[in-house]
A and B are shown apart, each in its own frame.
Chain A
Amino acid sequence: MKRRSLDQKTYYRGVPTAPYDLIKEITLALGVLLVVVLVLSAVLSSPDVPPVTIQSWAKSAPLDFLQTATAELQGSTISADYGPPYNIDADGLDPSDTGASVQTWGPLAPQLWAGVHQPINAPETDVIAPLRLASVGRPGLGAALAQYQAAGTLKEQTWLTNYQKALTKATANGPLVRVPAGAYGPVNVMMQALLADGRAGALDSLLLHSGRFYVTDYTKPLLFLADGGYFPGLAQTQKLTGSQWGMMNETGRYPGQAWLWLYTLWYQIPPYSTAQNADLLVVLTMGLLTTLLLLVPFIPGLRDLPRWLGLHRLVWREHYRLEREARRPGGGGGGSTAR
Chain B
Amino acid sequence: MSAEPRDDTQGPRSWTGSLRRLIERDLPIEHLLPDREPAYVGSWVYVFGVVTIAALILTIASGVVLAFFGPQWWHVSPQGHFFNSLHFWSVQMFFVFMVLHLWGQYFGQGWRDGRATTWMVGVVVFLVSIVTAFTGYLSQQNFDSQWIAVNAKDAINATGAGAFFNVLNFGQMYGLHVMLFPILIIVLVGLHVVQVRLRGVVKPPVEDRP
Q: Using a CB–CB distance below 8 Å, which chain A residues touch chain B?
A: 2, 5-6, 8, 11-12, 15-23, 25-26, 29-30, 33-34, 36-38, 40-42, 44-52, 82-85, 101, 103, 110-115, 117-118, 216-219, 222-223, 225-226, 231, 234-235, 238, 240-242, 246-247, 250-251, 254-255, 257-260, 277, 279-280, 282-283, 290, 293-298, 303, 306-307, 309, 311-313, 315-316, 318-320, 322-324, 327, 334-337, 339
B100 at the binding interface (Cβ < 8 Å): no
Chain A residues with Cβ below 8 Å from B31 are 8
Contact B41 A11 (CB under 8 A): no
Task: Report whether A33 and B93 are in contact in the complex, using a CB–CB cutoff of 8 Å.
Answer: yes
Residues of B within 8 A of A111 (CB): 157-160, 162
With CB as the reference atom, state the residue of chain B lying closest to A30.
B54
State in angstroms the CA–CA spacing of A222 and B173 once bound together.
Answer: 15
Shortest Cβ distance from residue B175 to the other chain A in the assembled complex, whole angstroms: 9
Contact, CB under 8 Å: B171 / A250:
no
- Please, which residues of chain B bring their CB within 8 A of the CB of A238? 143, 147
Say whether, besides A20-B41, A294-B120, A296-B106, A216 and B170 are in contact (CB < 8 Å). yes
Which residues of chain A come closer than 8 Å to B127, judged between CB atoms?
290
Of the listed stretches B4-12, B13-21, B82-90, B177-185, chain A binds B82-90
The distance in angstroms between the C-alpha atoms of A25 and B51, with both chains bound, is 9
By the criterion CB–CB under 8 Å, are A234 and B143 in contact? yes
Cα distance A313–B85 in the bound complex, in angstroms: 39
Using C-beta atoms within 8 Å of the partner chain, give the interface range for chain B. 35 or more
B 40-51 to A, binary, CB cutoff 8 A, 1 in contact else 0:
111101010011
Question: Contact between A49 and B144 (Cβ–Cβ < 8 Å)?
Answer: yes
The 8 closest A-B pairs by CB, nearest first: A216-B171, A114-B163, A5-B114, A41-B85, A297-B111, A110-B160, A297-B116, A20-B37
Which residue of the partner chain, among A19, A52, A115, contacts B163 with CB atoms under 8 Å?
A115
B123, closest chain A residue (CB): A294
Nearest CB in chain B: distance from A153 CB, A: 28
By the criterion CB–CB under 8 Å, are A48 and B84 in contact?
yes
Query: How far apart are the CA atoms of A271 and B159 in the complex, in Å?
Result: 19
The answer to whether B199 and A339 have CB atoms under 8 Å apart is no
A17-B38, A297-B116, A315-B104 known; A84+B142 contact, CB < 8 A: no
Distance from B79 Cβ to chain A, minimum over Cβ atoms (Å): 12
| Alpha-carbon separation in the docked complex, A40 to B82 (Å) | 10
- Measured between beta carbons, the chain B residues less than 8 angstroms from A34 are 58
Given contacts A37-B90, A42-B82, A231-B146, 8 further A-B contacts (CB under 8 A): A5-B113, A22-B35, A38-B86, A41-B88, A49-B142, A217-B172, A226-B150, A315-B43
Q: Is B200 an interface residue (CB 8 A)?
A: yes
Contacts between chains A and B (CB distance < 8 A), count: 284
Contact B162 A85 (CB under 8 A): yes
List, in ascending order, chain A residues with CB within 8 A of B200's CB: 8, 11-12
Q: Is the CB of B38 within 8 A of A51?
A: no
CB nearest to B52 among chain A residues: A29
Bound together, the chains give a CA A318 to CA B199 distance in angstroms of: 23
Given contacts A20-B41, A51-B142, A118-B166, contact A280 B158 (CB under 8 A): yes
Report chain A residues within 8 Å CB of B57.
30
- Chain B: which residue is nearest A306 at the CB level? B107
Contact B143 A219 (CB under 8 A): no
- Chain A residue nearest to B106 (CB atoms) is A306
A82 to B156, CA, bound (A): 13
A259 is contacted by which of B81, B130, B203 (Cβ under 8 Å)? Answer: B130
Distance in Å: Cβ of A300 to nearest Cβ of chain B? 13
Is A46 in contact with B163, judged by CB distance below 8 angstroms? no
Does any Cβ of A come within 8 Å of B190's Cβ? no
Contact with A along B124-140 (1 / 0, CB 8 A): 10010010011001001
Closest to B98 in A: A259
Chain A contacts for B205, CB-based, 8 A: 307, 312
- Are A316 and B40 in contact (CB-based, < 8 A)? yes
Which residue of the partner chain, among A38, A42, A222, contacts B168 with CB atoms under 8 Å? A222
Instruction: Determine if A15 and B166 form an interchain contact, defined as CB atoms under 8 angstroms apart.
Output: no
B94 CB → nearest A CB, Å: 9
- In the complex, the answer to whether A315 meets B107 with C-beta atoms within 8 Å is yes
Partner among A6, A22, A33, A279 whose Cβ is within 8 Å of the Cβ of B198: A6
